[in-house]
Structure 1
Amino acid sequence: MTIISRLIALFIFLVTTASQASDIHISSLSELAKYAGESGHVITMEPGVYKLTDYLISDSISARRNRKVFQYITFSGSNNVFNLKGVEIELDTKIRTLLNPPIHSDEFLVTGSNNEFVGLTIRCVGNGTSPGGTVLQVAGESNVLKDITLHVAGSYPYGYGDLFGKGKQAETTIKHRKHSGLLVTGNETKLYRCKVYSRSFGHCFFIQQHPKNVYFEDCYAEGEVRTTDAVLAETSGPAFDVNFKTWTQNREGEYVVTPGYMKSLCEDGFRTYGICENITFKNCTAKNTRGGFELRFNSARLEDCTTIGTERAYWIGDNTTIINSKGDANYGPLLFVEGSHVDVELRVDSTESDRLVHSLITVLGADNKVVLKTTNDKKKQHELPILIGYTPPLHGESMSPYSEAETTGLELINETGMPLKIGKQAKDGVIKTNGNIIENNGVNVKVSEL
């Protein structure tokens, strides 16, 4: 079949589907669950707050647990439009505790394809916890989410970020129960103006299982931050009970919480796992998350993106492009390059902070191009070194030391006024800078002033 004939067939399918779609008005979660399993409808829900506990009464929770049905609502139908503007689902996290699902069991699940969801808010309340689950997973193909907002809570412990581990590692000193926001595993998923406000240890938005052509536009991820000094001031609780023993060593080689740093209490704002083809972020923002955009071992395209108050702003792998984006380095580095053939254009908003930060960026890999600009008067900035031929710290933890690694063919333009430190494994680079050179131990690394 030619491209033109395929397009004609798709057009006929869409027109036929639209003509057959039925307009349905609903006013309860039970009705929403019913039509979630059907196809070809336009469903409009009456605005209001709907409590999940009114839909899942205690008897049905017990029955669901016995049947091993751990999702609240599964959208298995296809070719639907769900108009959910003004609809808020109140998710009492105690339900998760009562259901006691296996690890990584998601709560609202989209398995159908070619659906559009508009305007839904899901808000977590209560003191229950999830064993590693996600509020919403989009698993089907070609689904579109617009103006979806998640308020996520329900993890243990909350208040420390990843200081004491991530849950599965042998080095973990406190066993975690994570609760994340929005997971994408389906091809051709598109998200517009979606927001995740995390008050939980878990990711805001993340991508797994190698989906293709995932697109984010005008999306927002937000966590909370807390100083390590505040953690050390505790006189009881989980951190106190393990004598503040961390899972990652600090710069003195000790496994203990170190004063002077800022920690995010959630995980990453936007995160990818594995190779996910053609991932795009446009005009997206991460605030007070651990990583702003942590896209390691992957290729992605970012345009007009922003980070604010993150532990590390952008952490990128092979073949990633960043255009006209920005971030601050108030609580941690602006950029980790951990791959090859990247093309980066970043602006530094600020490096002003009373917290300890040990670098502006680190770069390893081959044939990378990095352009660093500034939006502020460099005379008012703290000086943070640009480390060429260095790795990120272990696990990305700001308290941990850096190591050296091979970097070849780097093209760097530094307009920030920040100093450079070039390691002995840096080779064959071209650097233009208006910052001082702390040291240049590289081989055939040509440095000139801007």
Structure 2
Amino acid sequence: MNKQVLIILTVFVLFFSCRAQSTDNQKTLIEVNTLSEFKKYLDQDNVHVKLQEGNYQIDDAQKIRFIEITSNNSYYDLRGARFMVDTKLFSRTDLMKSDDGNSMYCAIEISGNHVTLEGLYIETYGDTPGRQSKNKIFNIVGENVTLKDVELRTTGSSPWGYGYLYGLGGNDVRKMNGIRIGYPAKNVKLLGCKVHMRAMGHAIFLQGAEDTLIEDCQVDGLLRTTDAMLAESSGYGFDKNFYAGKGNYIEGTIVAEDGKIMPGEIISLSEDGIRMYPDYQGHKTINTTVKNCTVTQMRRGICTGLSTSGDKVIDCVVRDCVATGYNVGNEDVLINCSADAKYGEAFCIPYTNAKNAHVEMNILDSRNGRANSLLAKINGTGHVVVIKTKASEYIPESMAIKLSVWEGYGNYNENATMHATNIKLDNETSTEVITFSGTENLELKSVGKVREANNSENVVNKSNRTKR
């Protein structure tokens, strides 16, 4: 056989082999028009299922994971479908528990691999609080799972209207979170998703997940002033005589030392927009990328600081958050990000053990805010920080950039030695930079004034260590 014939035969074999493989991988479209029909395919591999557009009621379930998707290599097209989930399900004691050792209730769990779910609108309705604080709409624990253009709206937490002032999971607080991505999840993608938080809880959070991409997503919550709370003549806060769960600083809000809620403050009624927990039962949360996302009116906007692996946040915008816009930690990289400081610092690197973060921050209009004069705080070692703004008037003159401070969010260890060492800071704004005791080897360029904190300021700073 000559060489030319051999080449032709090889190409011929490869062509039909690829064509056969392509045919094998094609999935026949299955169209269903009821929820019961749809559920028949949730454990079947290699299916392409289209649910008819319309409203679907979820008011009954067999297990604490109301809908479970366990299939592999499957695609679920829910564009135009709307799921209404009765919050009463989250308090049912007769539902079968799952065998993964986690007792959380959720509306939809995806534990299969290579699964795509696209286009669903889902919301909880009713004001019945769940049995626990771990309630959520989505729980994703599979590999190579994609949620695309999914929209959520949460209700059903208790107490509602007081945010985090009465505890973060203990006591009688019952939350309704949005999307959890947890171990053993790997390579999960949230693309173009929207989460409207109208309940206490996190919008999107990770626990032990690896290589997660969150892109083109939007999160929004609601804010409330303490003046509005104090004007109540009945309700949860009124019954407690407007005493919060503890005194001093609570996640961005100041209350009296004895816990009395004070006027002039502001809270978020939910928790964090996009948040990484450090791990889940020893399995670390690593390699998260958050890209082109927007978070508004949450407690913290984008919180990568609790994960120590080094995460990337690119082209994101955070507005009107109460504790901080961005919580930055060890090895984190923030590229072309933006935030205001109306109600809390635009960003913070709060942890003294955080090293080598890189932050590029554009300060948005921070005028007409409340209860905040801290533009940014920087602690730790080896960070490179650039702060800029498009208009100098966006930043009130009363605001400052502070290094080596307890003030603001994120200092939990009262025995820590506060410091900011070997920091490179390029302050392209006219905001004042104040260095407190513990600031060493600062490489600084600043348009704004630079000064060392005076003795009385350092005393006040040190006294804040017991008020976090």
Residue correspondence of structure 1 range 27-66 to structure 2 within 5 A: 27-53=33-59, 56=60, 61=61, 64=62
Partner of 2:261: 257
Shift of 1:121: 0.8
Partner of 1:383: 398
Once the two structures are superposed, what CA deviation does each residue of 1:182-201 show, in whole Å capped at 9, x if it has no partner?
01121100111001001000
Name the CA shift for 1:36/1:440 in 2 (closer, same or farther; >3 Å).
same
State which drifts further: 94-103 or 328-337: 94-103
Name the CA shift for 1:96/1:297 in 2 (closer, same or farther; >3 Å).
closer
Partner of 1:226: 224
SS at match of 1:36: coil
Name the CA shift for 1:392/1:150 in 2 (closer, same or farther; >3 Å).
farther
Name the CA shift for 1:417/1:74 in 2 (closer, same or farther; >3 Å).
same
CA contact (8 A) 1:387 1:420 kept: yes
CA contact (8 A) 1:72 1:108 kept: yes
CA contact (8 A) 2:373 2:398 kept: no
- 1:413, 1:287 → 2: CA distance? 26
- 1:114, 1:417 → 2: CA distance? 50
What one-letter code is carried by the residue in structure 2 that aligns with 1:135? Answer: I
Residue correspondence of structure 1 range 238-257 to structure 2 within 5 A: 238-250=236-248, 253-257=257-261
CA contact (8 A) 1:372 1:415 kept: yes
Shift of 1:379: 7.1
Q: TM-score, normalised by structure 1?
A: 0.86
Q: Does 1:86 align with 2:90?
A: no
- 2:385, 2:360 → 1: CA distance? 6
- 1:228, 1:396 → 2: CA distance? 24
What one-letter code is carried by the residue in structure 1 that aligns with 2:224? Answer: R
What one-letter code is carried by the residue in structure 1 that aligns with 2:42? Answer: A
Residue correspondence of structure 1 range 11-26 to structure 2 within 5 A: 15=21, 19=25, 21-26=27-32
Shift of 1:106: 2.1
Shift of 1:234: 1.5
Name the CA shift for 1:139/1:260 in 2 (closer, same or farther; >3 Å).
same
Residue correspondence of structure 1 range 29-428 to structure 2 within 5 A: 29-53=35-59, 56=60, 61=61, 64=62, 69-99=63-93, 104-130=104-130, 131-132=132-133, 133-168=135-170, 175-185=172-182, 186-208=185-207, 210-250=208-248, 253-274=257-278, 275-298=284-307, 299-311=310-322, 312-337=324-349, 338=351, 339-378=354-393, 381-393=396-408, 405-428=418-441
Partner of 2:8: none
- 1:438, 1:383 → 2: CA distance? 15
- 2:19, 2:298 → 1: CA distance? 42
What one-letter code is carried by the residue in structure 1 that aligns with 2:262? Answer: T
Once the two structures are superposed, what CA deviation does each residue of 1:14-70 show, in whole Å capped at 9, x if it has no partner?
9568535232101111122111111101101111111113xx2xxxx5xx3xxxx21
Shift of 1:163: 1.2
CA contact (8 A) 1:390 1:404 kept: no
CA RMSD between the two structures: 2.5
Runs (5+) with no aligned partner, structure 1: 1-7, 169-173, 443-450
Name the CA shift for 1:380/1:344 in 2 (closer, same or farther; >3 Å).
closer
Shift of 1:336: 1.2
SS at match of 1:182: strand
Shift of 1:123: 1.4
Runs (5+) with no aligned partner, structure 2: 1-13, 98-102, 249-253, 279-283, 456-468
Name the CA shift for 1:76/1:392 in 2 (closer, same or farther; >3 Å).
farther
- 1:396, 1:366 → 2: CA distance? 15
- 2:162, 2:20 → 1: CA distance? 49
What one-letter code is carried by the residue in structure 2 that aligns with 1:333? Answer: E
CA contact (8 A) 1:408 1:427 kept: yes
- 1:323, 1:354 → 2: CA distance? 25
State which drifts further: 76-85 or 26-35: 26-35
What one-letter code is carried by the residue in structure 1 that aligns with 2:273? Answer: G
Shift of 1:206: 0.4
What one-letter code is carried by the residue in structure 1 that aligns with 2:429? Answer: T
- 2:240, 2:21 → 1: CA distance? 62
SS at match of 2:92: helix
SS at match of 1:72: strand
Shift of 1:342: 0.2
Shift of 1:354: 4.3
CA contact (8 A) 1:158 1:265 kept: yes
Q: Percent identity?
A: 28
CA contact (8 A) 2:392 2:430 kept: no
- 2:341, 2:409 → 1: CA distance? 18
- 2:94, 2:368 → 1: CA distance? 42
CA contact (8 A) 1:336 1:361 kept: yes
Shift of 1:317: 0.9
Shift of 1:249: 2.6
